[in-house]
Amino acid sequence: MPHLDTWNIGYGSRHYADIAPFSLWDGDSSTFRPPAAHESQWIFDTFSAVSVNFFWPRIIIETATPPSPTPLTIACVAAIFIPVGSKYTPPITNTNYSNHRMADPIPAHFHWPKWQRPTKEQSRVVWERLGQIMNIEAVNFIPPIIIIELRHDEREYSKRSLPGKVAGRIAVYHRGPPSFWETIPHTRERLIKSSDALQDTYFQAHEPKRLLRSTEILDNIWCTVDGLASGLVYLRTDGVRLRRAPRLPVPESRTEYIFEYIEGGAHVAEGVRGVPIVIDHDNDNQLGAVVGFFQQEGHGSRWILSSCLDDVIEGDWDLL
């Protein structure tokens, strides 16, 4: 169960094992700030770090001696500990199509704050406006950028022919096959093992109690997947993905959540497929809340996709 000192409230969350005497989230401006020199030194000294890198909204700490219990945040930033000599690669793609001199196709009144995900209406506008100038397979909203997957068809795009800003955000493009998520480096080496987490009495998943609509889910919160084969594994909500719905005559989209592993080093086994993804929070409104169901990812991948439950809820389905 989560510790009483855990704040799993979105950006600015602090895990109970986060002992940093400062926060790198500025609540007044709702954004992250770089650490001061003495704060950087504190991180290096406290975790015997070989390197510390920031890929906001996460901090990557390279160390041979990770702390125990493992903090899911450091200074209110999602923390990932990696072994010495390994690398962390954020989602990246080919940017040759992006032209930052082109006009933003999304009207300013449909833009949204940097570290938030779009509303359904904002997502719809982005999907429809982009669909007027390109053939879309999927749109990934991963704060603070947008990754647009172009459909693999007869349409051709020259270099710097597509807008480099969409809804006020940096926009980059991918054209498959393979799909964008199949091109992400499959390296999820961790210092933390899920079996170790099971030995901590705090690391017990909540019993799934109810399904949660997408509008009820906060950005940048951590969740758990608990299976007999894998043990307890932690995921962080990293964004949302709109993809073209298959077998429909119109370009209607479907919504998926994007999750990143933040703790639990063992590869998640096939036997976990379909296990509920549950918010790790004691708040009455979130207790036992299910945000999706685990779908098997590529071997060793850092990210997984899970369908939004809105349609399931609208169909009057519920947990047994």
**pLDDT tens-digit map of 115-132:** 999 998 999 999 999 999
Q: Which two tokens stand for residue 274?
A: 């379909």
Q: Indicate if 222 and 265 belong to the same structural domain.
A: yes
* pLDDT tens readout for residues 12-38: 889 989 999 999 999 899 999 999 999
Q: Indicate if 74 and 211 belong to the same structural domain.
A: yes
Q: Is residue 9, in this structure, part of any structural domain at all? A: no
Domain end marker among 121, 152, 183: 183
Q: Indicate if 205 and 263 belong to the same structural domain.
A: yes
Q: Indicate if 288 and 163 belong to the same structural domain.
A: no
Mean pLDDT, the chain, rounded, equals 83
The pairing of beta strand 77-82 with beta strand 25-26: unpaired
Q: Is residue 13, in this structure, part of any structural domain at all? A: no
Instruction: Return the bridge partners of 14, or none.
Output: 7
Which residue range is the domain that position 253 belongs to?
25-89+184-314
Nearest to 175 by CA among 192, 191, 158: 158
Q: Indicate if 53 and 190 belong to the same structural domain.
A: yes
Q: Is residue 17, in this structure, part of any structural domain at all? A: no
In what side-by-side order are the strands of the sheet with 73-74?
49-55, 58-63, 77-82, 73-74
CA distance 46 to 116: 31
Give the CA angle between residues 302, 223, 236 to the nearest 5°. Answer: 40
State the burial class of residue 92 (Cβ atoms within 10 Å of its Cβ: 0-12, 13-18, 19+): middle
pLDDT of residue 164: 95
Q: Is residue 18, in this structure, part of any structural domain at all? A: no
pLDDT at residue 203 tops 60: no
Q: Indicate if 82 and 136 belong to the same structural domain.
A: no
Residue type, 271: G
**Count of structural domains within the chain:** 2
For 4-10, what is the mean pLDDT? 68
pLDDT of residue 241: 93
Convert 173-207 to b/e letters by CB count within 10 Å (16 or more is b): bbbeeeebbebbeeebebbbebebbeeeeebebbe
CA distance 70 to 50: 18
How many C-beta atoms lie closer than 10 Å to residue 123's C-beta? 21
Q: Is residue 3, in this structure, part of any structural domain at all? A: no
Q: Is residue 83, in this structure, part of any structural domain at all? A: yes
Q: Indicate if 188 and 277 belong to the same structural domain.
A: yes
Q: How many helices (H) and strands (E) does the chain have?
A: 5, 19
Q: Indicate if 190 and 275 belong to the same structural domain.
A: yes
> Please, are residues 61 and 77 in contact by the beta-carbon 8 Å criterion?
no
Kindly indicate the confidence band of residue 229, based on its pLDDT and cuts at 50, 70 and 90.
low
CA distance 266 to 228: 12
Domain end marker among 183, 204, 236: 183
Kindly indicate the confidence band of residue 209, based on its pLDDT and cuts at 50, 70 and 90.
confident
Q: Is residue 12, in this structure, part of any structural domain at all? A: no
CA distance 114 to 312: 29
Q: Indicate if 289 and 153 belong to the same structural domain.
A: no
Q: Which two tokens stand for residue 130?
A: 């982009």
Q: Indicate if 306 and 176 belong to the same structural domain.
A: no
* Better pLDDT: 70 or 3: 70
Instruction: Map tokens 């669909």 to a residue.
Output: 131
Q: Which two tokens stand for residue 170?
A: 């940096």
> Please, are residues 168 and 107 in contact by the beta-carbon 8 Å criterion?
no
Q: Indicate if 65 and 171 belong to the same structural domain.
A: no
Domain end marker among 166, 183, 200: 183
Tell me the CATH number at 82. 2.40.10.10
pLDDT at residue 66 tops 70: yes
Give the CA angle between residues 49, 184, 132 to the nearest 5°. Answer: 130
Nearest to 192 by CA among 4, 37, 22, 65: 65
C-alpha distances (whole Å) from 4 to each of 1, 8, 14, 130 are: 9, 11, 11, 45
Under DSSP, is residue 232 helix (H, G, I), strand (E, B) or coil? strand
CA distance 127 to 52: 37
Q: Is residue 320, in this structure, part of any structural domain at all? A: no
Q: Indicate if 32 and 171 belong to the same structural domain.
A: no
